[in-house]
Structure 1
Amino acid sequence: MKILLKSFLYLFLSLFLYSCGSSDSSDEVITIEEEEDPDPIATITITVVDDVSLDFGEVVENITQTKTFKISNSGNVPLEITEIKVPDGFSLDWISGSIAAGSFRDVNLSFMPNGISDFGGEIIIESNATSGNNKVNCLGVGISDIYEGDLLLASQIEIENFVNKGYKEVTGQLFIAFESGFPNRNTTIVSLEPLSQLRSINTIRINSTANLKSLNGLEDVEIKGSVALFDNVGLENIDGLVNIVDLNGFLQIAGCSSLTNLSALANLVSVKSVLTITYNDLLENLNGLSSLKMIGGNLEIKNNPFVNTLEGLNNLENIGGNLSVSYNERLNDFCAIKNLLVSNGLDGTFFETRYNKYNPSKLDITDGDCFKDFPQGVYGGNLVIRSKGAYETFISMNYEGIDGDLTINNNRDSDIMSLEDLSGLKRVLGNLYINRMIIEDLQGLGNLELVEGNLQISDNPNLSDFCEIQGLLQNNGVGSFFTSGNVYNPSAQEIVEETCSN
C-alpha cells in the first residue's frame, strides 16, 4: 500500500510538472528521490559482569564456581542466538534464544573441574550477527581439595573465600589473623564457623584477634599437630576444641584475657610437645585438663591471677620436659602434682616456683607440704633475687614479709647498686642472705623487725657500713648473724655497740 501511494504521488507530480513545463520550457525540472530503509543489522558485544575476565583461577575438583557475562545487541533487528559453545569443564544456564535490538542478556558461566588440570578455551556464540565479536576466552585450574603447606587467613573475607573454594584439608600451619598484637589486633575476624567444612588441619595458630569470641566451627575438624591461641582478648570459650584427644605438637593458651575455663579440653589425653597456659587474666581453674596424662615437653603455668589450685592435673603421669609454675598470685595449692613428683613422672627440672601465693619446693610438695595460705603482703616460700629485673619485680609487689628464705645474690658484676628500695620489708621468717653484691651499705633494711633464721652477709667487696641494721640487732630480731668476705666484717655485738662501719 505504501509503495502504491508513493507511485501515485510521483505520477501526479510528474504530470503537474510536465503541464507546467509545456507552458514554459525554461522552468527548472524538480526531482524527488525516494528515502531508502536502513539495512537490517544485528551487532553482538560480550562483556564480563562485575569482573575483568572469565578467569576462575584455582578451583577445587568437583566444586562449582560461577561468573556472569553479558551479551548485548546494539543493532536494529533482533539478535538470534542459535548456539553457544563452551570448553570442557564449563557450562551455561542459557545457550540459545533471541535478544531484541538495543537489549542484552546476562548469562551465567559455571566452572566445575572434573580433574586436577588446566581448563579453558574460547566461548563461541553462533548467531545472525553481522558485526561485533562473538568469542571470549575463559579459563580455570582444577586442584586438589588438600591445601599443601602453610596458609595465612588475615580477615573474615579471606576465611570465607578460602572455604568457598572447596578445600577440605590443610597440611601445614593455618594462621588466623596473626598480626603483631596491641594496638594492631585484628578486628575483622569474628567467626570460625566457615571452617566447619574442613576435614582436618595439621596446626592452627590464632593470634591477636579482638572480636573473635569462640572457636565454634572447629568441633568436627581433626587437628593433628598443634594449637596456639595467643593474644585473643575477646575469646570467651574454646568449645570448638572439644573433640581433641591427642596433639602431636604443642598446645598454647596465652593472653586470652576473657577466657574463664578450659572445660572444652576434657577429652585431651596427651600433648606430645609443650603445654603453656599463661597470661589469661580471667581463667579460674585448670579443671578442664582432668583427662590429661602425658606432656612430651615442658609445662608452663604462668600469670593466671585467678587460678588458686593445680586441680585438673591430678591424672598427669609424665612430663617429658621441665615444669615451671610462677606469677599466679592466688595459687597456693600444688597438691594435684604430688603423685607426679613422688612417682618421678617429671623427667626434666622442677623450676623454682616464684610469685605465686605459695611457692613450695619440689621437696615441700613430695613431703606433703603442698598447700599453704598466707595473709596479704606476705610472700609464701623461698625467693632468690639474682638480677636487677628480679629485684624490681620483687619491689613492685610491696611485700612486707617473707615466709621463707630470701637470697639476694648478684654475682658482683650486678647492676643492683643499692638496697634502698627494700624499705617496706619488715619480716623474713626464714634466712636472709646478702652476698656477692657491689653495694657499699645496707640502706633500705632499716625497717626490718625480724629475721627468724640466719642473717648472713658475705662476699660483698665494697660493703663497709652495717649501721642500717643496728636497730634489728639491738632488739634481738635475728636468729643468728654472720659476716665474711666484706670490706668490714663486724660481729653483731660490734654493730650493737655502734661500731657499725669502717
Structure 2
Amino acid sequence: MKMKIERAPLVKHVFFLAIMGLLILMGCTKEDNSIDALKTFTLRNPLNYTNDQNPDYVPLDWSTLPSGYFEMRYSNLTIWASPYYEVYLWKKVTNDTILHEKLDVNHFALIGAEGSTTYQWKVVAWANERILIESNIWEFTTEPKMYKGNITFSTQSEVDAFAGGDYRIIGGDLTILNSDIDPVSNLSPLSEITNIKGDVIINNTNLTILAGFTNLEFVAGNLEIKDNELLTEIQGFKNLELIGGVFFLSGNNQLVMLDEFSKLKSVQSDLVITINNSLTSIDNFNQLDSVFGELTIGYNDLLETINGFHNLSYISGKLGISGHNRLTSVKGFENVNLIGDQVYHIAKGLEIRDNGQLSEIPEFNKVNSIGGNFRVDNNDHLNVFTGFENLITINGDFEIGESNLLTSIPGMNNLEVIGGSFKIDWNWSLATVAGFENLKTIRGAFIVENNAVLKTISGLNRLESIDNNLVFNTNKALTTIDAFDKLQIVGGQISVVFNYQLNSFCFLKHLVVFGIFQGYVVHYNMVNPTIDEIKELVCD
C-alpha cells in the first residue's frame, strides 16, 4: 500500500509537467510566428516612389499580421491578439493628413485622388489598443495633370494656349473643328496627351497633315476623322493601343495612305473606313487582334490594296469589303477565327461585294463560325476562291453570285450547318460545284440558278434537310447532279426548270421515295419525269 501511495503522485506530476511543456512549446511556436510576421511587416503596393498611379483608383495594400502572441511595445507583456490597422495618408507638399482609416483588413482603395500629386502614407498595426508596429513611410505620385471635361478647338491660338496647361489626360471629349479666322493648322501642342477619356472628333478642318498625337495610347470613346477635304496624310498615332468606341474614317478625299496605327490592338466597337476617294492602300494594322463590332471597308474609289490585319482573330460584327472599282488585292486575314458573334452584335457576317477588279478572295482558313450571312457577289474579275477549310457554321445565308470569271467554288467540306439559304446564281463562267461533303442542314432554300456554263454539281451527300424550296433553274448547260443521297426533308417545293441538258433525275430518287416535300414542279429540261417515274428509276 505504501508503494502505491507514493507512485500515484509521481505519475500525476510527470503527466502534469508533460502537458505544461507541450502548452509552452505551442505558445512559443505561435509567438515565434507572430514575431516573424512583425519582422517582415511592410507596405506592398503601390511600390515606393512609383509615379504612374491612376488618380481615379489607387489600391493600397500591406502585409498581413496573423492572430497570435505579441510582445507589446515598450513593455515585456506578451498577449494573444488579432491585429487591426490604421492607415494614414497625406500630400507630401502640405504634410496635412487627408486620410485616416481604421481597418481589419490589409487593403484599402483611394478613390478620386488629385492628378500629378505626390502622396505619402504609412500603416500602424494595433492590438488590444496598443501599438504593435509602425511601417516605414512610402510615397507615390499620381498620373500627370488631367483636363476635366470636354474641350473644343477651332483656332490655332486655342490649341497653343492649351499646351501651357501641361495636361497629359483629357477627361472628356476632344473636338477639332474649322474656323475661317486662325484655323487649326498644327496639333503638335497636343503631343504630350496620353489618354482621352471621351471621343476624339476631327471634323471638317483645314488640316493637310494630321499629326500631334505621338504619345496618345488610349481613347475611351470614338475616334472620328471625317470630312477633312484637305487632309493628305495621317501621322502620329503610332502609340495608340485601344479605341473604346467606334473608329470612323470617312470623307477625307485627299488622303492617300493609311499606315499609322501599327500598335492599335483593339477597337471596342465598329471600325469603318469609307468614302476616302484618294485612298490607295490600307496597311499596318498588324497588332490589331479584335474588333467588337463591324469591320467595314467600303466605297474608297481609288483603293487598290488591303494588307496588314495579320494578327486579327475576332470580329464580333460583320466583315464587309464592298464598292471598290480598283481593288485588286486583299490579304492579311489569315488568323481570323470568328466573324459575327451571335451574342454581342446584330449586324454579322462576311460580305465581299461590288469589287470590280478583285481577282482573289483572301484565305480565311482559321474561320470556324460566321454569325450571319456569307455573301460574295458582283466581283466581276474574281477567279480564285479558296480557303474556309475549317468553317463549320454559317448562321445566315450562303450566297455566291455575279462573279463572271469564277470557274469553281471551294468545297468547304467541314461546313455542317447553314442557318439561312444556299444560293449560287448568275456566275457566267462557273463550270462545277463540288464538295460540301459534311453539310447536313440548310434552314432556308437551296437555289442554283442562271449559271450559264454550269455542267456538274456533286457532293452534298450528307445533306438531310432543306427547310424551304429546292430549286434548279435556268442552268442551260447542266447535265449532271450527283448529290442528295441522304436528303429526306424539303420544307417547300421541288422546282427543276429550264435546265435544257439535264437528262437524269436520280438525285431526287431518295427524297421522292423516302422523304417528304411540299410540291413538285419539273419542266423544260431534257427529260421531265413525274414523281412515279422517278420512283421507278434504276440508279447507281
**TM-score (normalised: structure 2):** 0.43
Bigger relative contact order, structure 1 or 2 (CA pairs below 8 A, ≥6 apart): 1
Higher helix share: 1
Larger Rg: 1
